[in-house]
Amino acid sequence: MKKYLLILTLLFGTVFAAFAQDNQTGDDLSRQEKIRALYVAYVTQQLALTPDEAQKFWPVHTQFETELKGVKKDLPELDKQQARLDIKKRYQQNFNTIIGSNRCERFFRMDGEFKRKLVDRVQKQRNDQQRQMPKRRGQ
């Protein structure tokens, strides 16, 4: 049952990512799809979503992400943070209805954790690549 849920969720996540990222190059799109699939699997596993919950959760989550991405990047930092917080508060009731308040709280924590882990991993890979690059003469 868990394998079925995981496969179903990965498919939904990949499809959503593919449609949402139409304007990216092939490598970027592939990387985004992989990240999205990892994210969907991580959230699904951590929240122990049932197939019914996943079917309701991911479309709402996609709307949630779209609104978060729609926050203007040229706003002052505190205004951006406030806009994101307002969006999270608006969606909190939707998520509570689908997965309950305890898992909703866990979701908001996990969302941030996943993003921090992803950034850390990307930075580590870049640092490893820079260390492996041979130094040129004259430097």
* Per-residue pLDDT reduced to its tens digit, 88-122: 999 999 999 999 999 999 999 998 899 898 889 88
Q: What is the residue range of 68's domain?
A: 2-124
- The verdict on residue 105 lying in a domain is yes
Nearest to 21 by CA among 42, 41, 5, 35: 35
**Residue 104 domain-assigned (yes or no):** yes
Residue 114 burial (10 A CB sphere; 0-12, 13-18, 19+)? middle
- Burial 40-77, CB ≥16 within 10 A → b, else e: bbbbbeebebeeebbebbbeebbebbebeeeeeeeeee
Kindly report whether the global pTM for this prediction surpasses the value 0.85: no
Residues in contact with 30: Cβ distance below 8 Å, sequence separation at least 6, in sequence order: none
Q: Is residue 137 part of a domain?
A: no
Q: How confident is the model at residue 7 (pLDDT cuts 50, 70, 90)?
A: low
The domain tally of the chain equals: 1
When mean pLDDT is compared across 10-14, 73-77, 83-87, 133-137, the lowest value belongs to: 10-14
The pLDDT confidence band at residue 26, using thresholds 50, 70 and 90, is: low
